Amino acid sequence: MSSHMVVHYDEIGTKGNNRSVFERCLERNLMASLVGLPVSKIEKVNQRFLIEVERERLPEAMVIASRTFGVAWLAEARIASLAYESIREGALEIAGEGRVAKKSSFRIDARRANKQFPMNSHELSVRLGDDVRKATGLKVDLSGAELSLHVDVLDGRALVYTEKRKGPGGLPVGVSGKVIHLLSGGIDSPAAAWLMMKRGCTPIYLHFYVAPDPKLVLETKIPKILRTLAKYSGKSTLILLPFSVYQVTCAEVPSENEPVLFRHFMRLVAEKLANEFHADGIATGDNLAQVASQTLQNLACIDMGGKLPVHRPLLSYDKAEIIELSKTIGTYEASVEPYKDCCAIISKHPKTRLKPMAVEFYSRELDFDALSEKTIMQGSLAVFDPHEESMLITPLRTEATSVRR
């Protein structure tokens, strides 16, 4: 037995000539996230998707679809023909279930995308409301009904449904292009990645690790965070770079300069990788003035000499708001697990206003260009597939080359 869910998008509907690009991307993302479930059909009808799934697995499919960016809302829907009797049958079935659940009032919300249907929305609502009231004894209540019966009259069929489940909104992941996303093990950067995805970006994660071997990173909280994020974005790529190359070369840098200088270095490396991975920007979890390295002046030092924009979607959030967001996303628990991150090793008391001259001086003296190349040469790549348990880690250069192709 199969059931259907109707999936609505919102913002995509406002796109002009590009709308079909957005719709196709959302369809691809929905199909990719539903892999492994018995989905027999996905169809676009009157600016919404209709997905047919084996009945027992429908709740699972709805949870997955409700995490897919671009989805405004979704609902389990009964399919009726365009004959009024068929629509009434669907409405009576749902109203009957409502009565069993001890609901006492209802309202009909009918919409007609198919203007060939002989009744207008108001006429359909009135006639159907009357029939449901007589058949079930439920009261009509237009303002505070316990049961809302939605009817969408579409091309070739009508949908009848009740509870709408909210989706995350935004745009389908992939439509806006790629960003290199600087990911630490903290609370902020995973939340920032989620916000970038919400606007249609595919993050390519870049993480600098302290461990002596990249394989050891896969035993930490980092994969847990990425697995949760992959539930929203699908398959994702993580670039792992050793902190040790920078650490050894920059051991003599005065500690109060270190945090900003290292962040400047990370940005430089991210920019080089952006070229390789065809990314059009860099993103971080920076938040204005959250810590001393994030003053306006220090952020300017971090960005100095860059050719690509650095996106900081959390810039104006309060920490409490970030925590709330990360709990909603599901990354919070892993984010607060202990982890030895590079930024915990370098000084926690940076200058609040590092001089741009200092950044120029150190990046020249320590040859950041060569240092970044050397670091990248020692990099590794891991791919996270939400449908697979195991994860392969390979050297960055060979994989990056194949990504370029």
Cα(395)–Cα(214) distance, integer angstroms:
10
Cα(23)–Cα(15) distance, integer angstroms:
10
Return the axis-axis angle of helices 319-329 and 188-198, rounded to nearest 10°: 70
- Which residues contribute to the site for Mg ion (CB under 5 A)? 188
- Count the site residues for ligand ATP by CB under 6 A: 20
Torsion (CA) 325, 329, 335, 336 in degrees, nearest 10: 60
* 189 in contact with ligand ATP (CB under 6 A): yes
Q: Please identify, using beta-carbon distances, which residue of 363 and 375 lies nearer to ligand ATP.
A: 375
The Cα diameter of the chain in Å comes to 85
The CB-of-263 to Mg ion minimum distance in angstroms stands at 11
Chain-centroid distance of CA 319 in Å reads 20
Residue 21: CB atoms within 10 A of its CB come to 13
| Given 170, 174, 186, 242, the residue binding ligand ATP (CB under 6 A) | 186
| Given 188, 258, 271, 399, the residue binding ligand ATP (CB under 6 A) | 188
- The region of 23-31, 171-179, 285-293, 373-381 touching ligand ATP under the rule CB under 6 A is 285-293
Cα(117)–Cα(154) distance, integer angstroms:
9
| Given 64, 92, 291, 358, the residue binding ligand ATP (CB under 6 A) | 291
Which of Mg ion, ligand ATP, none lies near 187, with the C-beta cut-off 5 to 8 A by kind?
ligand ATP
| Given 7, 12, 159, 183, the residue binding ligand ATP (CB under 6 A) | 183
Say which residues have a Cβ less than 8 Å from residue 214's Cβ, sequence separation at least 6.
240, 242, 380, 382, 393
The CB-of-283 to Mg ion minimum distance in angstroms stands at 13
| Given 342, 354, 371, 400, the residue binding ligand ATP (CB under 6 A) | 342
The CB-of-232 to ligand ATP minimum distance in angstroms stands at 17
* 187 in contact with ligand ATP (CB under 6 A): yes
Cα(9)–Cα(231) distance, integer angstroms:
19
The CB-of-312 to Mg ion minimum distance in angstroms stands at 10
Position closest to Mg ion via CB? 188
* 184 in contact with ligand ATP (CB under 6 A): yes
Q: Say whether 90 sits in a helix, a strand or coil.
A: helix
* 285 in contact with ligand ATP (CB under 6 A): yes
* 289 in contact with ligand ATP (CB under 6 A): no
Residue 367: CB atoms within 10 A of its CB come to 13
Q: Please identify, using beta-carbon distances, which residue of 164 and 272 lies nearer to ligand ATP.
A: 272
Q: Say whether 202 sits in a helix, a strand or coil.
A: strand
* 346 in contact with ligand ATP (CB under 6 A): no
Say which residues have a Cβ less than 8 Å from residue 44's Cβ, sequence separation at least 6.
23, 27, 50
- The region of 5-13, 71-79, 206-214, 362-370 touching ligand ATP under the rule CB under 6 A is 206-214
| Given 162, 202, 236, 284, the residue binding ligand ATP (CB under 6 A) | 284
* 266 in contact with ligand ATP (CB under 6 A): yes
Q: Say whether 159 sits in a helix, a strand or coil.
A: strand
Q: Say whether 104 sits in a helix, a strand or coil.
A: coil
Cα(202)–Cα(259) distance, integer angstroms:
27
Q: Which positions lie near ligand ATP, rule CB under 6 A?
A: 182-184, 186-189, 206-208, 263, 266, 284-286, 290-291, 341-343
